[in-house]
Amino acid sequence: MSVSTAQSTGSREALSAYGKKTIKQGSKSFALASLLFGREMQADAQMLYAWCRYCDDVIDGQSMGEDAPDADMTAAERQRRLDRLREKTRRSLNGERVGEPAFDAFAEVAARHQLPERYPFDLLAGFALDAEEARFETLDDTLRYCYGVAGVVGIMMAILMGVDRDDEETLDRACDLGLAFQITNICRDIYDDARAGRIYVPAVMLAAEGVADEPSAILDDQNKESVWRVAVSLLDIADDYYFSASAGVRRLPPRAAAAVAAARNIYRDIGRRIREGGPEVWRARVAVPGPRKTMLALSGLVTGAPAAIFLKSLKTPPRGGLWRRQSM
């Protein structure tokens, strides 16, 4: 397909509608938070989300991230899929429309915000760890994975929100929020991942609770209290990143700050439910009920926007010993 023909297959309006539909299906929490953006920022964020969601689903063999990853997909097939994603992403970054809505939406956003190419390729490198069936021995290994599949998404979203591409301090805080989100995801999905043959929890943390670094050990009912304690320890680490990210919210435009604070509140509440639910919490999917989501989103609105207006010039506290990002 020629570039000129491909470009005629999707207007910004159509691609925006695709992004909106994707985020509503793929993440009700992010969909709710994104409503606090201005119209153009909302469309850009939803289109970027659509590309990220599509790439993730292709590697995992999922649909909108709702079902468990395809445990039967071979590493070789994941690698083939990853190679195709890289090739289409490269074409999109070069301004080509490939005739697929996820990539055409990404091309629109990347060109509009002059998105540095290292970030989308860092995301795909994070997905490569799944394709390679990587093992995560240490917390550093897990955090590196979290950066590749979520921290870098926070960075790209921040750029879409108007953060300067050279403002490393604010981008670090955006990355921290992505890390916190992904650690929370790992804790929420620990049993679903194990059933798919995957473990993202650091092996050293499992060993400290006497649990072998094997899916069967995680799924063993005799280990459920130990697995829960590991999850709580990881959530304590996530809280350090939520705290760091909160200090960066005030560096965003007010409506973006409100949306980010809303998403932070909702996701952090998943961790609270795991802590309070105890070892039996995973009998059903851990989720935040709709009315509470709305309340948490409104709380983000009334705290995030004023912070961005009145506290923007305040110096952010140091990140201390938190993990430092680097290209994958």
Summarised one tens digit per residue, pLDDT across range 227-247 is: 999 999 999 999 999 999 999
| Whether residue 112 sits in one domain with residue 148 | no
CA proximity to 287, closest of 325, 296, 141, 23: 296
pLDDT, average across residues 310-323: 91
Exposed / middle / buried, residue 192 (Cβ in 10 Å: 0-12, 13-18, 19+): middle
H/E/C letters for each residue in 213-248? CCHHHHHCHHHHHHHHHHHHHHHHHHHHHHHHHHHH
Check pLDDT > 90 for residue 77: no
Q: Is there a domain that residue 327 lies in?
A: yes
| Whether residue 155 sits in one domain with residue 56 | no
Distance between CA atoms of residues 268 and 270, nearest Å: 5
Q: Is there a domain that residue 191 lies in?
A: yes
| Whether residue 196 sits in one domain with residue 80 | no
| Whether residue 112 sits in one domain with residue 141 | no
Check pLDDT > 50 for residue 4: no
pLDDT value, residue 9:
53
pLDDT value, residue 264:
97
> Which range (42-51, 73-82, 217-226, 301-310) has the least confidence?
73-82
pLDDT value, residue 3:
36
Q: Is there a domain that residue 219 lies in?
A: yes
Tell me if 245 sits within 8 A of 177, measured CB to CB: yes
pLDDT, average across residues 269-279: 98
| Whether residue 145 sits in one domain with residue 81 | no
| Whether residue 163 sits in one domain with residue 90 | no
Q: Is there a domain that residue 99 lies in?
A: yes
DSSP 169: H
| Whether residue 143 sits in one domain with residue 109 | no
Q: Is there a domain that residue 127 lies in?
A: no
> Which range (30-39, 119-128, 207-216, 238-247) has the least confidence?
30-39
Task: Give the CA diameter of the chain.
Answer: 60
pLDDT, average across residues 159-170: 96
pLDDT value, residue 29:
86
pLDDT band at 10; cut points 50, 70, 90: confident
Distance between CA atoms of residues 180 and 154, nearest Å: 10
Exposed / middle / buried, residue 140 (Cβ in 10 Å: 0-12, 13-18, 19+): exposed
| Whether residue 140 sits in one domain with residue 110 | no
| Whether residue 48 sits in one domain with residue 191 | no
Q: Is there a domain that residue 152 lies in?
A: yes
Q: Which domain holds residue 74?
A: 1-116
pLDDT, average across residues 255-272: 96
- Provide the token pair at 111: 């060109």
Report the percentage of the chain scoring pLDDT > 70. Answer: 94
Of the residues 116, 148, 175, which one is the last residue of a structural domain? 116
| Whether residue 200 sits in one domain with residue 67 | no
pLDDT value, residue 250:
94
Q: State the virtual CA torsion across 6, 165, 299, 16 in degrees, nearest 10.
A: -10
pLDDT value, residue 2:
34
Q: Is there a domain that residue 128 lies in?
A: no
> Which range (66-75, 82-91, 242-251, 281-290) has the least confidence?
66-75
pLDDT band at 64; cut points 50, 70, 90: low
- Those residues with Cβ within 8 angstroms of residue 175's Cβ, 6 or more apart along the chain or in another chain: 147, 151, 152, 154, 155, 325
Domain CATH number, residue 175: 1.10.600.10
Mean of pLDDT over the chain: 92
pLDDT band at 285; cut points 50, 70, 90: very high
Q: Tell me the C-alpha to C-alpha distance, in Å, between residue 145 and each of 96, 126, 208.
A: 29, 6, 21
Q: Is there a domain that residue 317 lies in?
A: yes
pLDDT, average across residues 218-231: 98
pLDDT value, residue 125:
95
pLDDT value, residue 76:
84
pLDDT value, residue 98:
92
| Whether residue 320 sits in one domain with residue 179 | yes
| Whether residue 143 sits in one domain with residue 44 | no
Q: Specify the number of domains making up the chain.
A: 2
Check pLDDT > 60 for residue 67: no
